[in-house]
Structure 1
Amino acid sequence: MARGRKSALRQLAKELRVEVGAASSDPFDVFALAELYGLDVVQMSQLDCAGAVQFFGEAGYQRFSGAQVPVSRFGSCIVVNDLHTIERQRSTLGHEVAHSICEHPHEARLVDSAGCRVADRVLEEEATFLSGELLLPTDAARMLAIKGVAAEVVATQYQISVEMARWRLNISGGHQIRRRRAQ
Structure 2
Amino acid sequence: MGFRRGFKTEANSLSLEVRSELRLGALDRLDPFALADHLAIPVIPLSAMAAASPGANHLLNDEPDVFSAVTVFAGSKRTIVHNDGHSSGRISSDITHETSHGLLQHCPTPALDARGCRLWDQDIEDEAQFLSGALLVPEDAALVIARGRFTKPEAAARFGVSEQMIQYRLNVTGAVGRVERARKAGHRFR
The TM-score, its normalising length taken from structure 2, stands at: 0.87
2:7 to 5, 8, 13: 5
Residues 47 and 60 in structure 2, CA contact (< 8 A), matched pair in contact too: no
Q: CA deviation at 1:114?
A: 4.3
Aligned CA RMSD, in angstroms, stands at: 1.9
Residues 148 and 178 in structure 1, CA contact (< 8 A), matched pair in contact too: no
| Equivalence for 1:61 | 64
| Equivalence for 2:167 | 166
**CA 1:179 to 1:148, structure 2 compared with 1: closer, same or farther past 3 Å?**
farther
Structure 2 spans left out of the alignment, 5+ residues: 186-190
| Equivalence for 2:125 | 124
**Cα shift readout 1:40-73 (whole Å, capped 9, x = no counterpart):** 1111111154422332123321110000011x22
Q: CA deviation at 1:145?
A: 0.7
Q: Distance in 2 between matches of 1:115 and 1:168?
A: 34
| Equivalence for 1:142 | 143
Q: Distance in 2 between matches of 1:3 and 1:135?
A: 23
| Equivalence for 2:38 | 36
| Equivalence for 1:15 | 17
Matched letter for residue 92 of structure 1? D
Matched letter for residue 77 of structure 1? T
How many pairs align?
A: 181
Q: Distance in 2 between matches of 1:49 and 1:125?
A: 33
Give 3-state SS (helix, strand or coil) of 1:77's partner. Answer: strand
Q: Percent identity?
A: 31
Between stretches 20-29 and 117-126, larger displacement belongs to 117-126
**Cα shift readout 1:109-150 (whole Å, capped 9, x = no counterpart):** 423344433221111111111100000001210221122632
Q: Distance in 1 between matches of 2:21 and 2:123?
A: 26
Q: Distance in 2 between matches of 1:164 and 1:37?
A: 23
| Equivalence for 1:155 | 156
Q: Distance in 1 between matches of 2:87 and 2:138?
A: 21
Matched letter for residue 54 of structure 2? G
Residues 151 and 169 in structure 1, CA contact (< 8 A), matched pair in contact too: no
Q: CA deviation at 1:169?
A: 1.7
Q: Distance in 2 between matches of 1:174 and 1:149?
A: 13
The TM-score, its normalising length taken from structure 1, stands at: 0.90
